[in-house]
Structure 1
Amino acid sequence: MYKHSVSILGTGFIGLCSAACFADKGIKVLASTHNLKKAKMINDGKAPFYEADLQEMMDNIKATKPELLECLLDPVKAVLETDISMITQGTPMREDKSINLGYIESTAREIGEALKQKDKYHLVVVRSTVVPGTSRNLVGKIITEVSGKIPGKDFGLCMQPEFLAEGRSIEDTLKPDRIVIGK
């Protein structure tokens, strides 16, 4: 039905700002959160937190193309109904100063559950703040274990480094100051 569709798994400032920017550009977005109150706010066109230009963008989407931004409580459904999934989960710091990848791991499992049911190729983009190797050695491994699918054949896996600054997320998404490409 839509030329492009993307699921955004995580609705913090990176995820929701990315979702709003995609929807504003005409791309169908299914955001996903496990927080009922946050999902309702997003579906009502209300930003659940302040970020410069976010509410104005959400107002415009709600007024002109509300079908392009929807927030679900079911991440598996979001993945099943889209072509691309972006992991935008938080990576909080532990007491020992290491990063907690628990949200990334659970999201990878949810994507794996969806891909187990999906025959079509699907692209997974890790957009969270993670150390090098996390996409391949953690996310890809979990998705493969859960789904039985092979990266590079049944699903794509890539990393989009996050260079957003809170308070500038919309501007930084629409006008990035750098592009990183690598292997």
Structure 2
Amino acid sequence: MKLLVEIVVGYMYKVQKNQLDTSKYSKEFAAIRHGNYFQFFNEIGKEIDFIVTYEEGQIKTDTKVHKNEVAFIALTKVGECLKDFYQRILNTYGELKDLDFTDEDFQNAAYFELSIRMHSNNKRLPSEEIRLMDVIDSLELSTSEKNTLHHGRRFINYIKRPWKMKGNWNEELIKFNTALDLIKTKNLTII
């Protein structure tokens, strides 16, 4: 089962790979892609009815995303914002076909980046806009495993900037899928 965030970010990756202008949504897309749910919530502003959480011995109900909230709770809270954003980008770009990848490939790329960033956010690494390269380097993995994850990161960079891709999309997808398998094996996934 795909999470809505995978579908939304995956769709925006497809927009980027097909070199369509994303400037209209640059703030929202950067916020959700980087796992900055607080900023994304503030950009879109669609509140939920409420969510019940348990924190420091207290049961709380809340409708807003807070800056230092655990990533999974914040991601849950931005569900209405994601629906709103997805509808807007679909209205702008419509149904897109990509010659190299399936929708699932794009969604897997989103899942990969968001999963790794979620672990970074939950560890409270010191920057809101930390580079994915730095997040991977901060993980407690072997050098070989980090190199595998960097192949996955480069694949995402090629999607965002397809003109920089000098190799073969199929070969890059194979390397990416190896990196995706590794995050699943190491339990570095969103859920």
Using the size of structure 1 for normalisation, the TM-score is 0.27
Q: Considering only CA atoms, is the larger Rg found in Structure 1 or Structure 2?
A: 2
Q: Which has the higher strand share?
A: 1
Q: TM-score normalized by structure 2? A: 0.27
Larger relative contact order (C-alpha < 8 A, sep ≥ 6)?
A: 2
